[in-house]
């Protein structure tokens, strides 16, 4: 395939960025999107030009670092996949592809397509943990019965990889889906009840401090989420917040 890539180039957070055109030819439909960018960068380096900076790590849809806005959609046109799992067969010969970083005030651009998502880390640090001692004092996992439905829901919430697609998809740049997934994975289990009140209050407070917007109730976050995190988690977090507020 022969494609035209329109890629956002930006030196740093304080420098104005712009879209730069890059033609690329002989792209195999079996390439992943990141492999296609690797080929482009090899060509740029061979010509003495600066390569396009983009985040990646595992390239297996697990780490969440390879987050790109592709033709206006987080992770591109496919569903249930991260950018590294997106293949070029989703595009056609002659296509023009716009590639940009995730857009949110809380995700400042570091360089080109890389954004700083440490805001998510700070939300997690505000309450995304339990106080159970697991250091040399492990407890039999079956000693506390857990309802199968609750366990399944908790595991579903825990599949969130913190990629930020929910924020990029939301017109308010809301982190409600991410935060609610991290709250829910503990709220559904008995081990998470000790800090339940402080957890939801502290994590929501940190989310607001980071500058994320409020939920729009449009559901774009769930649709674009590569792990299919459900909006039910936002409703659960709201209930947890209300309970914590009146205690």
Confidence at residue 104, expressed as pLDDT on a 0 to 100 scale:
96
Dihedral in degrees, nearest 10, Cα atoms 34, 37, 38, 43: 170
Confidence at residue 142, expressed as pLDDT on a 0 to 100 scale:
61
Task: Enter the pTM of the model.
Answer: 0.93
- Cβ atoms 1, 29 nearer than 8 A: yes
Confidence at residue 84, expressed as pLDDT on a 0 to 100 scale:
96
In the block, which residue shows the tokens 């960068």?
Answer: 41
Beta bridge partners of 7: 20, 99
Confidence at residue 134, expressed as pLDDT on a 0 to 100 scale:
61
Beta bridge partners of 24: 3
Confidence at residue 138, expressed as pLDDT on a 0 to 100 scale:
64
* Residues of the chain predicted below pLDDT 70: 133-142
């Amino acid at each position: 395939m022969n494609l035209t890539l329109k890629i956002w180039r930006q030196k740093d957070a304080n420098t104005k960025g712009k879209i730069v055109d890059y033609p690329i030819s002989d792209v195999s439909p079996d390439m992943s999107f990141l492999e296609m960018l690797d080929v482009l960068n090899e060509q740029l380096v061979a010509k003495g030009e600066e390569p396009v900076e983009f985040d990646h790590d595992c390239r297996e849809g697990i780490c969440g670092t390879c987050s790109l806005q592709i033709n206006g959609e987080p992770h591109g046109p496919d569903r249930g996949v991260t950018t590294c799992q997106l293949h070029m067969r989703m595009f056609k010969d002659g296509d023009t592809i716009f590639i940009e970083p995730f857009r949110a005030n809380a995700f400042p651009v570091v360089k080109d397509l890389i954004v700083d998502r440490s805001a998510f880390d700070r939300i997690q640090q505000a309450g995304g943990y339990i106080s159970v001692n697991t250091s040399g004092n492990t407890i039999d996992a079956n000693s506390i019965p857990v309802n199968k439905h609750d366990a399944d829901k908790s595991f579903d919430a825990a599949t969130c990889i913190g990629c930020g697609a929910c924020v990029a998809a939301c017109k308010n740049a809301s982190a409600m889906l991410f935060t609610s997934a991290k709250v829910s994975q503990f709220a559904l289990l008995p081990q998470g009840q000790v800090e339940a009140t402080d957890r939801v209050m502290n994590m929501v407070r940190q989310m607001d401090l980071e500058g994320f917007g409020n939920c729009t109730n449009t559901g774009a976050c769930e649709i674009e989420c590569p792990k299919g995190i459900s909006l039910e988690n936002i409703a659960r977090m709201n209930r947890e917040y209300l309970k914590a507020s009146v205690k």
